[in-house]
A and B are shown apart, each in its own frame.
Chain A
């Protein structure tokens, strides 16, 4: 087996006396989609923040490209090639597609003090990338991002991360607020990213979405890894039961029926 891009070994994360993560071990591999499942409060967001450098583990090891690493800040993690795309979408509605795409890494031309953003190039590259990922509706880089749908904005954010050489994408609930068509657009985009050899951590509530693209699955319950398995090793029911916190979904349904 090839060496995983990132590996957590027995990682703990405590805030004061509360332990948010307890001995979490997992592997993120290049060209694979790892689905991170769990109920609210299971420690998913803390885990994402550890992966993306917002938090440092209290104990345990984080290996990136085989070396033990400690990201001091999100910036450092980003420089290492770890990109996080958040649920609320990291885009700015009142700015153009081109300006959004290159935010923080703007191409320039000319000499100071007449150096300016190369808007033409920015717009051209942004539109090319969007077309490559199947967003044929976006034709002009001057279009404001606010005119795009939620799914299109996710695709823009993911495309942007890939263009800037992300090796690992952390997608925080990218499909949860989307309709069926929009969600499938984002899932397709994730497949494209996987083909390009990007390692993906896909956080979701939706077992159907997870099962449709996931290669590996990690289920978190109360800060601990409750289950870790590969595609095809568990049925959808089993996954759903695990996500419900280990309780049997069928039992839960019975309970609900009794209330009625």
Chain B
């Protein structure tokens, strides 16, 4: 019970069993059913991991939604309107994600304003900018993407019902785990979020930690935009708007403290998987999908309470 992911693990098992038992014979537990909820979780999961690391370092990023849309539009305009080959355009989209992250990071670190507000502003600036520029250049706000076979394989390959995004999720999760739990930089992330002054006093470059994480978040969001764009063969400025709050929600469900300084990648992965199970499980029950929101909201409330409890437990002496 002392580990940050303990609550998410229990909630995942209970929820999974609930849907498995409530939907007998519908195929929820089948290979295809499993691929279904993993697909749903994976794209959110790719961006939730850096968002979670950023929250552990004490900052929010609400600009991920518009970054996803912007990346998909860069791909669409680049390949369709300007006739660029796909791969350079992919790197351009990733660079745009990095640039948005860098702008967020610099703005938060230099102005010392709450990142909640700074990145909320960025979210609107980026989506507005994407739509405006797309209209100016091509008079559209969504457009189709021309992808090569190699790009289609890397971002949209499918095995049965399972998308390649699940692999991307695993890769990002593995990197996230190595960074947070094993690397020196990970120690700095915890320290920056746990006690900023103490971290600075110990020589941790706290500004660099935060800016790096903002950049990583921007790149991850752009990757999701690329995956979605290639998968659906089109770019759209409004892709990813759902992630703005879904990502922080699954991160908190995964046991990351809102105040920073505590959490784990395993927890974030479990929180995201839980989101996938609920979103997909509701379909199998045949209930109205409106209930998803209610489920998520209740889980979030329960998670915040549980996190506080786990934190207190962790701080009591044995």
Residues of A within 8 A of B (CB): 74-75, 78, 84, 86, 88-95, 99, 102-106, 108, 113-117, 143-144, 146-148
Question: Is the pair B202, A147 in contact by a Cβ cutoff of 8 Å?
Answer: no
For A75, the chain B residues whose CB sits under 8 A away are: 203
Contact between chains at A103 and B199 (CB < 8 Å): yes
Q: Is the CB of B183 within 8 A of A116?
A: yes
Residue of B nearest to A160 (CB): B202
Give the docked Cα–Cα distance between A168 and B124 (Å).
51
Closest 7 CB pairs of A and B: A116-B182, A104-B202, A92-B194, A104-B203, A146-B315, A90-B198, A147-B317
Question: Contacts A91-B198, A93-B194, A94-B262 hold; do A108 and B315 have CB atoms under 8 A apart?
Answer: no
A92 close to B199 (CB less than 8 A): yes
> Is residue B204 contacting chain A, with contact meaning CB distance below 8 A?
yes
- Distance in Å: Cβ of B172 to nearest Cβ of chain A: 15
B residues less than 8 Å from A106 (CB atoms): 184, 187
Does B201 reach chain A (CB closer than 8 Å)? Answer: yes
Contact B202 A95 (CB under 8 A): no
The answer for the CA separation of A144 and B204 in the assembled complex, in Å, is 19
Chain B residues with CB below 8 A from A74, complex form: 201
Residues of A within 8 A of B199 (CB): 92, 103-104
> Nearest chain B CB to A190's CB is how many angstroms away?
19
Task: Indicate if the CB atoms of B315 and A93 lie closer than 8 Å.
Answer: yes
Contact at A108–B201, with CB atoms within 8 Å?
no
B190 touches A117 (CB 8 A): no
Q: Judge whether B190 and A90 touch: CB under 8 Å.
A: no
Residue of B nearest to A91 (CB): B198
B318 part of interface (Cβ distance < 8 Å): yes
User: From DSSP, what is the main secondary structure of chain B's interface residues?
Assistant: helix
Q: Which residue of B lies closest to A112 (CB)?
A: B183
What's the tally of chain B residues with a CB closer than 8 Å to chain A? 27
Contact B182 A117 (CB under 8 A): yes
Are B204 and A94 in contact, with the CB atoms below 8 A?
Answer: no
**Cβ-neighbour of A99 out of B183, B187, B262, B311 (below 8 A):** B187
Contacts of A94 in B (CB 8 A): 190, 194, 257, 261-262, 311, 314-315
- Asked if B316 lies at the interface with its beta carbon under 8 angstroms from chain A, I say yes
What are 11 inter-chain pairs, A to B, with CB distance below 8 A? A90-B198, A90-B202, A92-B194, A92-B195, A92-B261, A94-B190, A94-B257, A94-B315, A95-B261, A106-B187, A117-B182
Q: In the assembly, what is the distance between CA of A117 and CA of B186, in Å?
A: 9
Residues of B within 8 A of A146 (CB): 314-315
A36 to B195, CA, bound (A): 27
Q: Which of A75, A99, A102, A144 has the largest count of B CB atoms less than 10 A from its CB?
A: A144
Closest CB of chain A to B58's CB: distance in Å?
Answer: 12
| B122-148 near A? 1/0 per residue, CB < 8 Å | 000000000000000000000000000
Known: A116-B183, A117-B184, A147-B318. A92 touches B190 (CB 8 A): yes
> B303 CB to closest chain A CB, in angstroms?
17
What secondary structure prevails in chain A residues at the interface with B?
A: loop
Given contacts A105-B203, A147-B317, contact A92 B191 (CB under 8 A): yes
CB contact under 8 A between A78 and B315, given known A90-B198, A94-B194, A117-B184 = no
Pick from A89, A108, A116 the residue with the most CB of B within 10 Å.
A116
Neighbouring B residues of A104 by C-beta, 8 Å: 199, 202-204
Encoded as 1 (CB less than 8 Å from any A CB) or 0, chain B from 297 to 318 comes to: 0000000000000010011111
For the complex, what is the distance from the CA of A166 to the CA of B273, rounded to whole Å? 48
Interface 0/1 of B185-214, CB less than 8 Å to A: 011101100110111011110000000000
**Cβ-based interface call for B158 (8 A):** no
User: In the complex, given contacts A105-B202, A147-B316, what are 5 additional A-B residue pairs having Cβ atoms less than 8 angstroms apart?
Assistant: A94-B261, A104-B203, A117-B182, A144-B315, A147-B314
CB–CB A103/B315 < 8 A: no
Contact of B183 among A91, A103, A115 (CB under 8 A): A115
Question: In the complex, A106→B184 CA distance in Å?
Answer: 6
Q: Which residues of A contact B315 (CB under 8 A)?
A: 93-94, 144, 146-147
Docked Cα-Cα span, A58 to B16, in Å, equals 67
B176 to chain A minimum Cβ distance, whole angstroms, is 13
User: A101: nearest residue on chain B (CB-CB)?
Assistant: B202
A37 CA / B156 CA spacing, docked (Å): 69
When distances are taken between beta carbons in the complex, the residues of chain A under 8 Å from B257 are 94
B178 touches A78 (CB 8 A): no
* Cβ-neighbour of A117 out of B183, B202, B204 (below 8 A): B183
**Min distance, Cβ A141 to any Cβ of chain B, angstroms:** 13
Whether A95 pairs with B194 at a CB distance below 8 angstroms is: yes
Contacts of A92 in B (CB 8 A): 190-191, 194-195, 198-199, 261
Closest B residue to A146 using CB positions:
B315
Q: A240 to chain B: closest CB distance in Å? A: 32
Chain B 149-193, CB-CB to A under 8 Å as 1, else 0, gives: 000000000000000000000000000001000111011101100
